[in-house]
Amino acid sequence: MAALASSQIRNIVLAAHSGAGKTTLADAMYYKTGAVNRRGRVDEQTSLSDYEPEEQERGSSVQMAILPCTWRDHKINVLDTPGYPDFRGDMLSAMRVADAAVMLISAPSGIEVGSIQAWQAAEEAELPRVIVVNKLDRPETDFDEVVSVIQDAWGRMCVPVQAPEGSGEGLTAITDLLDGAVEDMPEELVEAIAESDDDLMMMYLEGEELSAEDLMNGLRSAIRSGTVVPIFAMAADKEIGVEQFMDAVVNLVPAPEDELPEGVTEDTPANLIFKTSADPFVGKVSYMRVYGASLLPNSQLVTGSKGDSERVAQVYSPVGKELTVVDEAVRGDIAAVTKLQEASTYDTLCSRDNMVELEGAELPAPIFALAISPESQADLDKMATSLTRITEEDPTLHLERNAETGQLVLHGLGDIHVEMAIQRIARKFEVSLTTSLPKIAYRETIVSNADVDYKHKKQSGGSGQYGHVLMRVAPSQPDSGIEFSSSVVGGNVPREYIPSVEKGVRNAAAQGVLAGFPVVGINVELYDGSSHSVDSSGVAFEIAGSMGFRQAMRDARPQLLEPVLKVDVMVPDETAGDVMGDLNRKRARISGMEPLGNGFTVVKAEAPTSTMQRYAADLR
């Protein structure tokens, strides 16, 4: 294909609930370009998009893949993203660099939780949206009924621009409602387009004739502004409606914005890395969108955030797992670069003369964790490097050394997310890790007051040890830690020994009397004591403070505190009662319910961490 202009590029992200047919559509679109002789299929493990062994085994995507489709002298960069919530970090990264979101709805299933989350993410990103109702070849599917559900959930701005010919197994073709004479077009469609533009609306209300070109231009502008969301019909697995959809992407979906990001000019490079892949053979592969000047081979660039120098030896166009060398990547295009040394996901590659830092995606916080350890000494030697590379590849994975439990903990967006990361580490880097649920970091406190009179006295020849303290303990706020004070008068406890008493108290508070967990929420007052002119020392009073505190804790009704999670669970309305019952069995405190008005409800609760460590898996 000849050199492209930015106006010939379309960047779309496929987003939906798992199983809606995103990967099937991506493979079908790539096949229609003529780039391959045989279409890749998920069920045959030949998909160009689902190429990782973990994806082929599961039969669903676990990471973003890019398929560039050349169509009618345009390049459609299809960003196929996972629908499973554990991997939604890739969906958000893809939305950051896409110019439109394609929301797939499975006709037999309707709107599902993953589709709602994808819609909300696209809405927050202010991304133009189009909807594809897929799998219309399945038995007992009704396009009009699905359209009605979509409009009830997402508004009347969602209007069909196509209609299926036949239904279920009798589906034969898709009709474009915008083809033909204006008077033959559905009135709902014409009104929706006219309402999105003041000039068109005036013409429509005054009875002036609107041309097909007027409506196409109006629809194009309305999609860009988000005032109209067109609904397309399709059976991607049978390739019915795929070519018409590709035509619509070229005709209607916005090209890369003419307006450059702040600080970027057409003559200066600005390339946002939105995905990093750790390949055991190629090394690090960085996927980026070009926002400024064309990305060229043999370029010397820097990271906008840190100023680290990076050399771009070759520029590639990614096609699934393959990389094709290209002469350049123009503004708006998506490219890949290998073996960058310092740059990571969401870094911006720019020139030293015009350093810019483009904003990345806001990723969700981890909700699941596993403690990890190496199986052998050989694994230990390679573990640190492999974990660093896997967290570079997936920024929604977080690695933490828990100071309290001493465990190395890998956090992710769900049990499958973390377990898949462990599998990828074993496959890519030949490092075997054992996993377990992390230990719970409990706390200890007291629920009543107590006074203690503790005397530490030891005589073993020569100078002995003597420290005598009278202390009072009382409960305070759990998040206040240990608050120590002294009200000693008359020098019964010499001033120089009071810090030693405090040190002893704080050392004892590091391990409580119930189970050895840190102690919090206690006021400790040293109010009297005595000393010996020869045998008293800082060490003696430190021991007295430590032992006296432990005795006072035992007398003050010690209690174990467990960490509590705030939980939001989005569920279908009809299952809200079951979920609340399950949360109650996990000792949760239900704080409220928030109906979303689209058939789903958010249940809000607070629950002990110990009962919620595998809650996402339990809920499924």
| Of 109, 119, 42, residue with least CA distance to 88 | 119
Domains: count for the chain: 5
- Cα 543 to chain centroid, rounded: 49
- Whether residue 608 sits in one domain with residue 459: no
Q: Final residue of a domain: which of 383, 405, 436?
A: 436
What is the spatial distance between Cα 286 and Cα 278, in angstroms, rounded to a whole number?
A: 9
- Whether residue 61 sits in one domain with residue 159: yes
What tokens were used for 281? 């053979």
3-state class of 105 per DSSP?
strand
| Of 420, 360, 432, 433, residue with least CA distance to 395 | 360
pLDDT (0 to 100) of residue 524: 96
- Whether residue 556 sits in one domain with residue 568: no
In a domain, 215, yes or no: no
3-state class of 110 per DSSP?
strand
- CATH number of the CATH domain containing 278: 2.40.30.10
- Whether residue 59 sits in one domain with residue 121: yes
What's the one-letter identity of residue 153?
Answer: A
What is the spatial distance between Cα 498 and Cα 330, in angstroms, rounded to a whole number?
A: 71
- Whether residue 135 sits in one domain with residue 13: yes
**pTM of the predicted protein model:** 0.86
| Of 29, 67, 37, 69, residue with least CA distance to 242 | 29
Which residues, other chains included, contact 359 with Cβ-Cβ below 8 Å and sequence gap of 6+? none
- Whether residue 550 sits in one domain with residue 469: yes
Q: Are 187 and 208 in contact (CB under 8 A)?
A: no
**Which residues, given as ranges, of the chain have pLDDT below 50?**
none
- Whether residue 236 sits in one domain with residue 339: no
Q: Final residue of a domain: which of 379, 410, 436?
A: 436
Domain that holds residue 459: 444-560
Q: Final residue of a domain: which of 517, 542, 560?
A: 560
- CATH number of the CATH domain containing 531: 3.30.230.10
pLDDT (0 to 100) of residue 19: 94
In a domain, 222, yes or no: no
- Whether residue 424 sits in one domain with residue 455: no
What is the spatial distance between Cα 63 and Cα 492, in angstroms, rounded to a whole number?
A: 69
What is the spatial distance between Cα 547 and Cα 541, in angstroms, rounded to a whole number?
A: 10
pLDDT (0 to 100) of residue 404: 82
Residue 222 region, left (φ>0) first, then alpha (ψ -120 to 50), else beta? Answer: alpha
In a domain, 220, yes or no: no
- Whether residue 284 sits in one domain with residue 234: no
In a domain, 555, yes or no: yes
DSSP collapsed to 3 states, 478-522: HHHCEEEEECCCCCCCCHHHHHHHHHHHHHHHCCCCCCCCCECCE
In a domain, 4, yes or no: no
Burial 185-221 (b: 16+ CB within 10 A, else e): beeebbebbbbbbeebeebbeeeeebeeebbeebbbb
User: Which residue has tokens 């219309």?
Assistant: 136
Which tens digit of pLDDT belongs to each residue from 406-438?
A: 899 999 999 999 999 999 999 999 999 999 999
- CATH number of the CATH domain containing 589: 3.30.70.240
DSSP lists the bridge partners of residue 112 as: none
In a domain, 261, yes or no: no
- Whether residue 343 sits in one domain with residue 405: no
In a domain, 539, yes or no: yes
What's the one-letter identity of residue 346?
Answer: Y
- Whether residue 464 sits in one domain with residue 392: no
- CATH number of the CATH domain containing 54: 3.40.50.300
What is the spatial distance between Cα 169 and Cα 136, in angstroms, rounded to a whole number?
A: 8
Question: Judging by DSSP bridges, how do beta strands 100-106 and 129-134 pair with one another?
Answer: parallel
| Of 57, 65, 61, residue with least CA distance to 82 | 61
pLDDT (0 to 100) of residue 319: 97
- Whether residue 49 sits in one domain with residue 148: yes
In a domain, 206, yes or no: no
| Of 57, 91, 47, residue with least CA distance to 427 | 57
